[in-house]
Amino acid sequence: MATVARGRNEPPPAPIIVVKKIVEAPHEAHHGGAWKIAYADFVTAMMAFFLLMWLVGATDENKKRGLADYFSPTLIEYKAGSAGSDGILNGDSIIAAENYPHKAAQTGRATLVLPRDASGGIREGAGTGQWQEIQRFARLKQELERRIQQNPETRALAQQISFTQTEHGLRIDLVDRADFSMFEVGTDRLRPEALQLIREVAAAIRGVPNQIIVRGHTDSRPYGRGQVMNNWLLSTARAETTRTSLERSGVLIGRFSRIEGVADREPFVPQDRMDPRNRRISITLVGSGPARAEQVASAAPQPPATSGPAPSSPGAH
């Protein structure tokens, strides 16, 4: 290529600039240390989980129940909005289903209010007759405890008497213990100390008008001579012996509405059916509500039919 001569007055030629562009092949983006953050979160979560498991294992039932109630705010709202609460239509709508927390015969509000006994005030949660009966049972319990403590022959047996207020009335349980039995072993013969205790019970209950149910109980230990005696016969015989002792101590025979033996079917200590406390006599003062005695009778388990008197023979009870 020939070079053209440049004149004296002509400017120098412009330089030629060559730009090279290098295009790299596409590839995946570099993540750097993101995986470390995810792994740290995973380890933290696992540590928290195992810590929670350890705390649950080291917490008793009462604390667990308290924690569960703390995280159940709807429980209070449910009770506050149950049937009988304040507000328009008494807290319910005309098309809503019943929101009773208890049985249909009860109301949500009445079961949450304790009876009040202020002079001239109202009594909620119990009718007038029922409230008077509760007070009468409370006075009877105090009177019986006082009589037992004042009598030197029965003071040592104070721990063997138990009072339970049930839906049917006041139940007085005379229970055995490991080192003392109310009856001679395997028989329906009362020990002298137990007989004195029953006399004190009779002195306390003969002044109240309630009907009486006497129920005999045994533990689950099989009887030594099952051919002539069993737990059903033994519990029934002991209940009849108790009834006879109460009658001789001044309780009118017309007040006894039911005498029965239930063997080991209603244990006092269900988790240990061999516990000596399961051997007991229950004396129930039936409440004065409508058909209360019939309710107790229908709820009681029925022993098998037997014939002939229950003999008193030695056994393992």
**pLDDT of the residue at 294:** 43
Residue 266 falls within a domain, yes or no? yes
- Count of CB atoms within 10 A of residue 32's CB? 7
Q: Which two structure tokens, joined as six digits, stand for 150?
A: 């004042």
pLDDT in tens, the chain (317 residues): 556 666 667 777 778 888 777 766 655 555 567 888 889 999 999 999 999 888 888 888 777 777 777 766 544 444 444 544 444 444 544 445 444 444 444 443 333 333 444 444 444 445 566 788 888 888 999 999 999 999 888 888 888 899 998 888 899 999 998 888 899 988 899 999 999 999 999 999 998 889 999 999 998 888 665 567 788 999 999 999 999 999 999 999 999 999 999 999 999 888 988 888 999 999 999 987 543 444 444 444 333 333 333 333 334 46
**pLDDT of the residue at 239:** 95
245 and 226 belong to one structural domain: yes
80 and 205 belong to one structural domain: no
Q: What 3-state DSSP class applies to 166?
A: strand
85 and 141 belong to one structural domain: no
Residue 198 falls within a domain, yes or no? yes
Residue 192 falls within a domain, yes or no? yes
268 and 236 belong to one structural domain: yes
Residue 169 falls within a domain, yes or no? yes
69 and 194 belong to one structural domain: no
**pLDDT of the residue at 168:** 82
**pLDDT of the residue at 224:** 63
Give how many domains the chain has, as a whole number. Answer: 2
Task: Give me the domain span that covers residue 105.
Answer: 53-113
- Count of CB atoms within 10 A of residue 124's CB? 13
85 and 182 belong to one structural domain: no
178 and 267 belong to one structural domain: yes
93 and 207 belong to one structural domain: no
**pLDDT of the residue at 222:** 80
129 and 216 belong to one structural domain: yes
Residue 164 falls within a domain, yes or no? yes
* CATH number for the domain harbouring residue 244: 3.30.1330.60
**pLDDT of the residue at 256:** 95
86 and 154 belong to one structural domain: no
**pLDDT of the residue at 174:** 93
73 and 158 belong to one structural domain: no
**pLDDT of the residue at 125:** 47
Residue 285 falls within a domain, yes or no? yes
276 and 180 belong to one structural domain: yes
Please report, as a single letter, which amino acid is at residue 110: A
CA end-to-end span of the chain? 135
Residue 311 falls within a domain, yes or no? no
Residue 174 falls within a domain, yes or no? yes
